[in-house]
Structure formats: structure tokens, C-alpha cells
Chain A
Amino acid sequence: MTARLRRLILFTPLFLFAAIPQQPREAEKDTTAILQANYLYNIAKLVEWKDQDMRTGNFVIGVIGSANLYQELIKQYSTRTIGKQPIEVRKLPRSPEVERCHILFVGRSDLALLPEIYKRMQDQPTMVITEYAGALEDGAIVNFVKVDNLLKYEMSMKNAQKHRLVMGLTLKNLAHRVEE
């Protein structure tokens, strides 16, 4: 776990405790959620899961936190398929005990769960996607980054390999940063 993630985890609950409960952002104006949902869909199309049992049944996208991302995925992508696998979007409970899924997105509100999730997922063919600086070093395969006021992504080929995922060349070429 990087020092940055440790700091985030330490400060996040304190901040949440001190803050007045916030009104959720309107889903339709949550531009980040709209962009992330589309990225998730496109990333899914450009990655190959080597494990045979991941190539049948539903294509599961699990979301922890980020209610608006979940809503956007349901609205725009839940009737689509990845290859022949119908997309199934699941809103997962705030727990490190994660069900089997192809993609697992963990939002910034739930970073405290990540160390345990990385540990439990280390042998699983699950692509962990998140959104904090230093995530690739911690074990994420794709991480959303903010560059020049734009939302982009970075990816780790090494972590992908560990999870038996083959990242497409297009995905690699379009990434803001690739960690080999």
C-alpha cells in the first residue's frame, strides 16, 4: 500500500465524520460518472479474459460506491453485450468480500476497502479499476486520472498479466500512461 493511499484512508473517515451529510449530485449532471461508464464499457470491449469460465455467462461489472456511475451503467449499457456475454451491472455492498466479477470499480468514497480487496483479488481474473493517485502501484489494473481538466486512464500491463487479462493494443495506445 502506498503512502498516498494510507493518507487517503486515514483522512477519509475523519472527513466524513466531520462533514455535514452531503446532498448527492444529480446523476444526469454527474459528468464524471457518464464518462467513467463509457470508459468501463469500452475497456471491457478491448480486454480479453484468458480464464475459460470468465468467457461464458454474464459479463459482470461490479460497482462499490459511486451510485451515479451504477445508474449510468444501468441506463446506457445494461442491455449491451461484451462479445456474446450480456452485461450485468451489480451494485455491491461496501465490503471487501467481493463476488466474482469481470470488472470491479471502487470509487473514491470507498478507498478504505481497497487494501483488503487487492489482497483477496490477487489471484482472481477480476480487473480492479479505481480513481486515486498511485493505484497501479497498489494493484489496480486501470486507474482514472485527471489530466489537463480531462478524465483519462492509466493502466498496468504487469497487473493485468497477474490477473490473466490481455489488454488490447488500442486500449494501450489510448491510455494516458502505461506501466509495463
Chain B
Amino acid sequence: MIQIHTAKGEKASYFNEREHQICLMARLIEDGKTYWVAGGGSPMASILLAKKLYAPNAVYVTEDGVLAPEPVLPFDPIMTMVSSRAGYRALQWGTMNSIGFHAQMGYMDYGILNTLQVDPYGNINSTLLGDYESGEFRRFGGPGGADSIASLCWRTILMTDHQKRKFVPRVDFISSPGFLDGSEGARERAGLPRGTGPYLVLTPWALFDYEDRYLRLIGISPFVTLEQVLAEMSFRPKMADQLLTLETPTEEELTLLRTEIDPRGQVTITGDIGRWIMRREDGSFGPADEVEAQGGDPNLPRSW
């Protein structure tokens, strides 16, 4: 059973979907465990928030060999790894080889990654959209360190947006391995370490785990319906018997995120942050434009 930290204090009345996802991810971080996080973006914001509120003894490493840093925030644009601010007060400065070998020996409990596409078996595509062989594709950077994170950490957690084009029956290119064809032992047959693999997928709308190496829906956010969640997926996931309701952010979480972790809004304001979500008079949540069209609640303090 998945452990989720309980957020204390007042619920925020106004937030965007990216902020919601990061706060959820922070509550999933297990204290006292090691995390290999993708540089910058939502994964790193999540672990930084978790360390402040829920998991002070969680340790993270980055691809450039930085082990357990206490970074100086905010980062300069693009400088989320290998910079002096990102690596500040680490316990060790190693190299990509050293961190890769640590993970290969089993020291990394979790990996947290973003992805372009994910399939029901947790395979990850960060290379291209389209067909590799024919040359008809739109190319992105490549796996970077993600392949090693997804291969070598004991459990891999994915953060992605909840969109039909992201949840596909087959990824266009397996940049980083999930359960491959989904058969038992497929990873081991490909030479990957025993007992590793995809663990969770978290979107702003929903939380998934895996049952028999196939994606299973286990929770949804209170501002979307089950129908909406399923409509934005190109395949049908397995379903848990009971769906969790994913709690929205607290004021305390958002304040830390907005003032200390990402004060420039590089992760939570610019780029694709999803919709703004607002609390209704009855305490339920909905997209801000809909809530406002319905009259909203003018007495509510806004978090932003």
C-alpha cells in the first residue's frame, strides 16, 4: 500500500495543476530513502518541498554526481545541475560514472522522471514523436540520464501531464525501460537488474501504480471526474477497487513552493502548468474560469 504524508493546515483556495502535482509528489516522498531525480523541473521541486515538510532525511542525487546537496535557491535559468548553486553543501561531489555505479549497485531506492510519453507497461519515451525508421518524426533531446534512472533505481516514479497524447498504448520509442512488453521477467531477460521497475505515475489529475506490470488507476484529483481522467488516455488502465481522492495543496505547501523553492516560477508559472483551480463556496474545487463564471466566492483569500 502506498504511503502518502498527510498535509496539515489550511487548504489553499487557488492554485494551478502543476503546483498541485508537485505538492502531491512531495507527499509521496519516503523519509530516509535515496532518490535519483531528473535535473530541474517538477521532480526536483517535489523532493525539495518534501524535504522541507515531510521527509527531512530523504536524500537526493543528480546525474552529475552530486550527493545530498543543500542547494541555493532559486537556480539560474537552465543551471539546475552542475552549477555551484545546485551542488552547494553536498556530502560528495562525484561524477556521472560514480552515481551511475552507485545506482547499479543498488543504492538508489527511487528515481523520479518526467516523460514525453508513457505506455501501460511504464515504458518511457523522451527521444521522439513519430516513426524512427521512416524518419518522419519530431525529435527531442534523448534519454539523458533517464535510461539509467529507470533501469537501476529500485522503483521508478514518473511525473507527466494528463493528456491523451502522453498515455499511449505503445510509446513511439523506448528511451528508458519500463516493464518492456509487460511479460514476467522481461526486464531481467534484457539484462536489467532483478526487482526493479516502474512504481507510480503521477499526473495533476490522477495517481497510478502497477498491477501485474500494467498501469492501474488508484486515485484522482477532486477537480476532475473519472470520465475526464479516462477520456484523456489512449488506453484503458486497470482500476483499483477503491479510488483515493488526491488532496489539493495547503497554503503552507504553496507558500514554500512559491517563495523558497521556485520564486521565479520557472517550474510553476512559465511553460505548461495546466489550468488554475479554485475553491467553490461549498468547499469543492473546479477550474478557476468555471468557478468564476458560476459566481465564485469573492470572500475567499487568494493564495497568489
Answer yes or no: are A and B bound together in one complex: no
- Interface residue ranges, B against A (CB under 8 Å): none
- Interface residue ranges, A against B (CB under 8 Å): none
